[in-house]
């Protein structure tokens, strides 16, 4: 099993540019989570999908952030326009089922907005 | 007040000692509790889960849960330098296991 795959590993962009982060779930997993990690705020849940449907997006900071799950195995997180305060590590995690199941994290995307 | 609180550390212990990591949470309906380990520059990985009051042991790791005190801890016996990492406490704060809230983590250093 290849695990949760995220791309790119690193992204450096300029303020105002659009950024798209990608995530491929583990086969058979049906729940998908996007987290953001910073030194100041720790690991924050941005949005959670179950069976391709967004269940809770209350953690999405503002309208500049959007996430989609066009099929059962793939998700994108888009920031448009990006700002320096969006600089963080963005993790995607997946799991099988909804209850008490282990979360598998991808290796993360280190985003730097200059 | 944050929903899940951890001492940020850093916590340093000598090799072979017991490392004790603590976590408190605010949501009384929480039912599921997890400890994740995160090495520098890596992603979090689950090392322990606990759902009932008391102790749960897995090798050198013991998780302890006290729901009345809203307290969960992780003990690492015979600490090794390879245990040096940040340990994240995660609690389901929605009343179901669908969403986890993470603490800010405790950085542990095991000195050889």
- Span B2-7, average pLDDT: 85
Nearest by CB: B105 against A42, A44, A103: A42
Q: What percent of chain B has pLDDT over 70?
A: 94
Substitution target from B44, B95, B96, B101 for chain A, most A beta carbons within 10 A? B44
pLDDT digits (tens, 9 = 90+) for B86-104: 999 999 876 554 678 899 9
What CA–CA distance (Å, rounded) separates A4 from A18?
A: 23
Q: What percent of chain B has pLDDT over 90?
A: 79
> B83 — phi, psi (to 5°)?
-80, -10
Nearest-CA residue of chain A relative to B92?
A100
Mean pLDDT, all residues of chain B: 91
Chain-chain contact of A102 with B46 (C-beta, under 8 angstroms)? yes
What CA–CA distance (Å, rounded) separates A110 from A100?
A: 28
Please name the residues in contact with B79: beta carbons below 8 A apart, sequence gap of 6 or more.
B13, B14, B15, B16, B17, B18, B19, B108, B110
Which residues of B are less than 8 Å from A44 in CB distance?
102
- Could you tell me the mean pLDDT of each successive run of 10 residues in chain A, 114 residues long? 91 97 94 93 91 89 93 95 97 82 91 97
Nearest by CB: A100 against B32, B44, B88: B32
Among A36, A27, A24, smallest CA distance to A82 is for: A36
Among A26, A17, A63, A67, smallest CA distance to A45 is for: A67
What CA–CA distance (Å, rounded) separates B47 from B90?
A: 11
CA A46 to mean position of chain CA atoms:
7
Tokens (6 digits) for A51: 């069976």
Nearest by CB: A45 against B45, B46, B99: B99
Chain-chain contact of A42 with B104 (C-beta, under 8 angstroms)? yes
Nearest by CB: B98 against A43, A44, A98: A98
Please name the residues in contact with B7: beta carbons below 8 A apart, sequence gap of 6 or more.
B22, B106
Distance between B26 CA and the closest CA of chain A, angstroms: 17
Q: Which residue has the higher pLDDT, B11 or B3?
A: B11
């Amino acid at each position: 099993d290849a695990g949760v795959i995220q791309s790119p590993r690193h992204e450096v962009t300029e303020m105002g540019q659009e950024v798209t982060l990608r995530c491929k779930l583990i086969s058979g997993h049906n729940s998908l989570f996007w987290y953001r990690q910073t030194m100041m705020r720790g690991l924050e849940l941005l949005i959670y999908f179950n069976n391709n449907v967004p269940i809770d997006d209350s953690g999405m900071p503002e309208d500049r952030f959007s996430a989609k799950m066009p099929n059962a195995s793939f998700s994108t997180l888009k920031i448009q326009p990006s700002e320096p305060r969006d600089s963080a590590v963005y993790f995607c995690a997946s799991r099988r089922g909804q209850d008490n199941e282990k979360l598998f994290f991808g290796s993360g995307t280190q985003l730097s907005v200059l | 007040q944050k929903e899940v609180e951890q001492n940020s550390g850093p916590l340093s212990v000598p090799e072979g000692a017991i490392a004790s990591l603590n976590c408190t949470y605010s949501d009384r309906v929480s039912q599921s509790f997890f400890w994740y380990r995160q090495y520098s520059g890596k992603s979090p990985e689950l090392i322990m889960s606990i759902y009932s009051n008391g102790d749960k042991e897995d090798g050198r790791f013991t998780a302890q849960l006290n729901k009345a005190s809203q307290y969960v801890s992780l003990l690492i016996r015979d600490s090794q330098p390879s245990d040096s990492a940040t340990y994240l406490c995660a609690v389901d704060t929605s009343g179901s296991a669908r969403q986890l809230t993470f603490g800010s983590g405790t950085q542990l250093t095991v000195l050889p």
